[in-house]
Structures are given as C-alpha cells and as structure tokens.
Structure 1
Amino acid sequence: MTETHAPDSALPCSDYHAAFAPAAPPPPLPRAPLRLSCVVPAHNEEANLERFVRALAQAVQPLTAEFEIIIVNDGSRDATHEVALRLAQGSGLPLRYIALSRNFGKEAALTAGIDHARGNAVLLIDADFQHPLDLLPQMHQLWLAGFDMVYGVIADRGGESGTKRVGTGLFYRVLNAGSHVKVPPNAGDFRWMDRRVADALKALPERQRFMKGLYAWVGFKSAALPFVPADRAAGQSSFNLRRLGSLALLGLISFTTLPLRLWSVMGSVIALIALAYGLLIVLDTLLFGADLEGWPTLAAAIMLFSGVQLMSIGILGEYIGRIYDEVKQRPAYLVARDEDHSPLRERP
C-alpha cells in the first residue's frame, strides 16, 4: 500500500511518521462525476443521529448533488431505530436505513454499509461528531488527485486514558511486528474509499472481520489525513476496555501468527534451560556425590511448566476457535429492515 501525507501543513502523529515513510503522490486519474455513499454505523445514537445526518448532508452537498446516506443500526437499544426510520421516511434527505437483526458489532455494521453502497466513492464516518466534517473537501480533492483511499489518523490521543494509550501503542507494535501487512498506527474507520476499494473489501470472504487490517490488506494508493477527534456531542461510547480488548485480540489472530511463534520460542528456551539444569544435577551428583535436594524447587518448576503448557493450549485454542467460526460460514450480519429512499441506483 502506497502511503503519503496530506498536502497541508498538518503532520501525522509521531507513531505514524516513524512507521510509514512518505511517498510521492500518484499521477491524477480521470474520475467519473462523484456519486458518494456515506456509511454511518449507529449504535445507541438517538441523541446525535438526526443532527449529525443533517450536518453531513450539508457538508456533502457542495461536493456533489448525487449522494446517499446509509444509516446502519447495529442493534441499538435506545430510540435510534425510531429516529432513523422517521428521517428515512419523512425528512426528504437521500437516506437508506438498514436495521440489523441484532448487535453484530461495528465491524459487521461497516461491512453491511459497504455491501449496500452504490456510489463510485464510499465515505465511512461515525455519527457522534468525532470525525470532522470539514475534512471532507480535502478527502474529495485527494480522491480526485488519484488516491483510492484517504483515511484519518488520530494525531493526538491526549484525551484518552493512559491505559488506553499504552494498550493501543503496544497493540500496533505487536501487530505490525508479526505481519507482512503493515497497519498504520492510530488510523481508524474514518475514510474515503474509491469504488475499487469497496469492491475489493466486499470480495473478501472472512466472517470475523478486523476492518483496519482489511483496509491495509487490499492495498491501493492511500493518503493519510491527521485529525484530532472532537468530544462526543452527546451520549457515551459503547467501546469499553473489554470490547476494545476483544477487538485487539481479533486483529492479532486475524493478521499475525506472532503469538504462536513467540510461544514456540519460549517453549524451546524453557526446554534448553531444563536440559542444562538436569545435566548440572547429574554432574554434581557424579563428581561430588551431593544428595538430591530441592523438592520445593521441583514443585515450583512443575507448576511453571504446567502453566506454560496451559497458556500455549489457550493461544492455540484461540486460533482454532476462529477457524471454527469461519468454517460454519454464517453471514457476518443479518438485515431485519431495509428502508431504501436513496436516489442512487446501481449502474450497469
């Protein structure tokens, strides 16, 4: 994947800059007139949704008259369904409302939006106002200049807890150390994609989808735009440490076998240490006739090795569990309702 920085004075965050060297912009490509699909995943966003959709429509209208806004309700438990349905049926906005049958997770909601998008460009953006709408003209210009994907990179995580910042940094280091596909650090789901990228993502068959890794895996010419997330306009994020940990585990298992290799190395090192210690005991007994002592040490060693073996089985089980989920071939999501008032239609 060819990476480059945005042509503005703003610079990406230090982690991104250290991991990804800038490249020359590609030559401009002829683009068809913009038909934009805006995918908005929503989970418990009743307080933000209507105001955000209207603000998004105002931001997109100067770019093109042909656009659609696809709201994907990911099993919300508040009034998100009622708000989205009312907007789709009576607001006069170019809306398509897709309600999933239950909460499948944000990765599945994004997949559903991409699957149903009809434009020659697709914008992924959250409904909580944390992704800046004023970057859309810049994304559009980069797309016109020949970039197939333009994605936002968080330039400042100062508003997050120290635990989350450390965990995020560690996650990207481990992920990129063990995978030939390099995922840009601090890059999120805020991105503008050409139709070719959306079609490539649709063609990927896996059910357990780690979207940040899939964006990187498909490649294409990409540009990074640094931004500082705004505070949520209302409500609370549904991503807690447990869900973020589950997502991180999915990303590691989906895109790297580093945990398996590390545990193989650890097992080899422990085996060599045990062999050396055994030889030392034999030599000490033969040369000096020392009594065989150290039953507490022996018990501790047995407990250590048992724990290592159980952890090894657990890591192996995570990979096998993902294989089990994939071979069942269940769909990534199910649609309970599709209220289609989009002016865009598939072109032959």
Structure 2
Amino acid sequence: MTNVRNIKDPNIYAVIPVYNEEVLIESFLRDLANKLLQITPNYKIVVVNDGSSDNSVEIIQSLVGQLNIKFISFSRNFGQEAAITAGLEASKDADAAIIMDCDFQHPIEVIDQFYAKWCEGFSNIYGVRNRTDQSATRSFLSEIFFKVSNELMGVKIPANAGYFRLLDKQCIKAFNSLPENGRFIRGLFAWIGFKGYPVPFDVADRQDGTASRWGYRKLFKLAFTGIFSFSSVPLRLISIFGLLVSLVAMSYGLYIFIESLFFGGDVSGWPTIVVSIMFFSGVQLISLGVLGEYISRIFEEAKKRPRYIIDEDESRNL
C-alpha cells in the first residue's frame, strides 16, 4: 500500500553527469528545463562535469544565468559513478531527484511517468530498457550478468535497469549515508530498498550519431566491480573448492596406499602427476587473483581518499 503524495510545487532536481557532450548539452538542458518547468517551478538541474576536455564547460556556464542550473566541475575525469554521487550529494534538499544521461538516450518524456508514480507514493522509480536495440551477444551477456549478480550479491537488481530513475528524499538520504568509495551504484540503488516501480522505455539513438560509449570492456569492468564490491561468495567458493580437492586427494592417496599394500603394484602415472601439478598451479593463481581483487579494494578504502575533487562549483552563483 503506497502513500499518495500531494506536494504543491515540489523541489525536483535532475542530476546530469556530463563528459565531452558539447554537441548535445545545450539542446538537452533546454529541453529538460522545459519539461521540469511543466511539473514544478521549483526545479533545479545539477550538472556535474566529469573532466570534459571539449567545450562542454563553457556551454554549461553560458546557460547558468538562463536556466536553473547548479554546476559542479571535477578536477579530472573520476567516472560516471562519482559524478552521480556528487550530484545526489548536491541534491540533499530535493523532494525527489531524477538521474539521467544527457545524450537523449534516456527520453525526457519518461519523466512524466516517473513523476506520476512518485505522486502515487513510490520512492525508487527506475527505467527499464526495452532491449530491441541490442545485439544477440550483448543481450545474452546482459542476461547472464543479471542472473549471476542476483545470485551472488544478495540484492535483486532489476534486469535492464540502469541509472535512469527517480529517487525520493528518503532514497537520496540513504544513498548519501553510504560510506564506501568503491561503488557499484546500480547495486546500491537496489540495496537501499524502498518502494520501487519499473517504467519501461525505448532507448533512443544518440542524437550526435555516435555509438554508445559503453563498450564490452567497460561493461565487463562494471560487472567485476559489482561482484567484488557486493559479494564474498567468490571467497567462499575458493574454500569449498579447496575442501573438495582435499577430499579427492585424500581418497586418491588412500587408493594408492591400499593398492601398494595389498597388491604390491608399482605406483605409476607421471603424466597424471604433471597435469595435476599444472592444473592446481592454475587454480592457485586464480585463487590468488580473487584474493588480490578483495585486497586491492580494502587498500583503496583504507586510503580514505575523496570520491572526487571539485575544481569549480558554480552553485554559489545561483
């Protein structure tokens, strides 16, 4: 049962990470401002420049006086996860915050559906991509990732849900209270809970004609970050596998002992021994690699470095 919200002129923020979007950023921000103004006069667009090397910063600065923009600029590229984190931390006074990309692949008109569900009382409204635009390989890998991650992570991440969503003030507060630096935001959005609602949408092509920046390498890196940030299952699998190998080794050793003692046969099998050594050497290296992933994350957290460094914060000019 949801509690219907009836807030007159709510404070609605939009969190927009930007990285080298000089071609699209002005038209996107103007369209977004028009849409938000239809909902409430108390809107604010939190634009986070993630170390752009083109003219994105200059274009955004020229719009600060025209649109209700809160501009934050990083000292370098810290990544989309850091940009979203900075945007939500700057949205602590919002009744709700909408997170979306500025390349028009997240349709602006879907905001109306987000807002309608928020008014109905839902707190964590997320866009779910209709995957008609994906190749068969990418769809298969995506399906495998969501199935494996939901088994390993202990939280249910909705399939084909990403950053595009609306979070109410409870969700924003809960998200901003999380202390870790190594972040898998899609998992964190699922972990904080609250009343969720999926909104399907069609992914549009980038209006500048370029391909998506989420290549396979970036997606695999994100998948590994999610698994190692959220789950200790890989460590447990190493222990379980080690126990099974020990049982097999003891059984084989007992077999050899009985054969030698009662049948007097010579123990042979040098090829088997060599293959076994090579196999278990590989297993040990893989196990060390898994341990190394966890240790490296502990090392990064122990340094307590900030998630990002702000070079320029134009919010004081509003």
TM-score band w.r.t. shorter chain: over 0.9
Cα displacement string for residues 15-43 of structure 1 (whole angstroms, at most 9, x for unaligned residues): xxxxxxxxxx5132443531111111011
- Is the counterpart of residue 109 in structure 1 residue 83 in structure 2? yes
* Rounded Cα–Cα distance in structure 2 between residues aligned with 1:342 and 1:39: 18
- Is the counterpart of residue 255 in structure 1 residue 230 in structure 2? yes
Kept in 2: contact 1:37–1:122 (CA 8 A): yes
**2:241 paired residue number:** 266
**2:23 paired residue number:** 47
CA change 1:29–1:53 in 2 (3 A) is: closer
Which AA in structure 1 matches 2:183?
Answer: R
- Is the counterpart of residue 242 in structure 1 residue 217 in structure 2? yes
Which AA in structure 2 matches 1:262?
Answer: L
* Rounded Cα–Cα distance in structure 1 between residues aligned with 2:16 and 2:77: 15
1:186 CA displacement? 1.3
Kept in 2: contact 1:125–1:190 (CA 8 A): yes
* Rounded Cα–Cα distance in structure 1 between residues aligned with 2:6 and 2:37: 21
Which AA in structure 1 matches 2:215?
Answer: N
**2:59 paired residue number:** 83
Cα displacement string for residues 53-83 of structure 1 (whole angstroms, at most 9, x for unaligned residues): 1111121111111111111111122222222
Matches within 5 A, 1:16-95: 25-31=1-7, 33-89=9-65, 92-95=66-69
Greater mean alpha carbon deviation, residues 317-326 or residues 79-88: 79-88
* Rounded Cα–Cα distance in structure 2 between residues aligned with 1:163 and 1:80: 34
* Rounded Cα–Cα distance in structure 2 between residues aligned with 1:150 and 1:254: 24
1:246 CA displacement? 1.5
| Number of aligned positions between the proteins | 316
1:339 CA displacement? 1.5
- Residue 223 of structure 1, aligned match among 190, 197, 221: 197
SS in 2 for 1:188: strand
Q: What 5-or-longer segments of structure 2 have no aligned partner?
A: none
Structure with bigger RCO (C-alpha 8 Å, 6+ apart): 1
Kept in 1: contact 2:73–2:310 (CA 8 A): yes
* Rounded Cα–Cα distance in structure 2 between residues aligned with 1:185 and 1:342: 40
1:185 CA displacement? 1.7
* Rounded Cα–Cα distance in structure 1 between residues aligned with 2:317 and 2:107: 24
TM-score normalised by L of structure 2: 0.94
* Rounded Cα–Cα distance in structure 1 between residues aligned with 2:200 and 2:18: 24
- Residue 132 of structure 1, aligned match among 104, 107, 124: 107
- Residue 204 of structure 1, aligned match among 178, 184, 193: 178
Kept in 1: contact 2:9–2:41 (CA 8 A): no
**2:270 paired residue number:** 295
**2:314 paired residue number:** 339
Q: How high is the sequence identity, in percent, across the aligned residues?
A: 41
Q: What 5-or-longer segments of structure 1 have no aligned partner?
A: 1-24, 344-348
* Rounded Cα–Cα distance in structure 2 between residues aligned with 1:47 and 1:150: 29
Kept in 1: contact 2:13–2:43 (CA 8 A): yes
1:212 CA displacement? 0.8
* Rounded Cα–Cα distance in structure 2 between residues aligned with 1:192 and 1:212: 13
SS in 1 for 2:102: coil
Superposed CA RMSD: 1.7
Q: Which structure shows the higher helix fraction?
A: 2
